[in-house]
């Protein structure tokens, strides 16, 4: 089960911190990859199912913040601030999931 832990760490290490067109694409791909991993971990057993549910609402919040950071109406500073907020939230969530996942051996 260690591949999940390694995959989460790899995602964590790839999270961009600065707003740019390329980083918008990258973070959206990371969100998709993170959601896939979250689904896989959730499916391991009922303990993980119960303890990973809290991460799903945050995914939508992060996606919405990324969208706002890419708005033509937002100033450069606002875009940077929103992107930084979203990337920080994603990193926090990934770190929390790594802590909950542990070694992947938790059960009821």
- What is the separation of C-alpha 11 from the centre of its chain, rounded to a whole number of angstroms? 8
**What share of the chain in percent tops pLDDT 70?**
98
pLDDT of residue 104: 81
pLDDT of residue 87: 97
Rg (CA), the chain: 15
* pLDDT classification of 3: cutoffs 50, 70, 90: confident
pTM exceeding 0.85: yes
* pLDDT classification of 63: cutoffs 50, 70, 90: very high
pLDDT of residue 23: 96
How many Cβ atoms are within 10 Å of 57's Cβ, its own excluded? Answer: 9
CA distance 79 to 23: 12
Token pair, residue 37, equals 């991993």
pLDDT of residue 106: 86
Instruction: From 44, 47, 32, 49, select the one nearest 5 (Cα to Cα).
Output: 44
């Amino acid at each position: 089960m260690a591949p999940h832990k390694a995959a989460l760490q790899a995602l964590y290490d790839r999270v961009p911190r600065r707003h740019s067109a390329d980083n918008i694409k990258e973070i959206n791909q990371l969100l998709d990859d993170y959601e896939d991993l979250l689904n896989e971990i959730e499916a391991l057993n009922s303990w993980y199912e119960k303890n990973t549910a809290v991460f799903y609402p945050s995914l939508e919040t992060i996606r919405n913040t990324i969208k706002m950071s890419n708005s033509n109406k937002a100033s450069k500073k606002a875009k940077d601030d929103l992107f930084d907020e979203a990337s920080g939230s994603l990193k926090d969530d990934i770190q929390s999931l790594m802590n909950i996942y542990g070694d992947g051996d938790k059960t009821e």
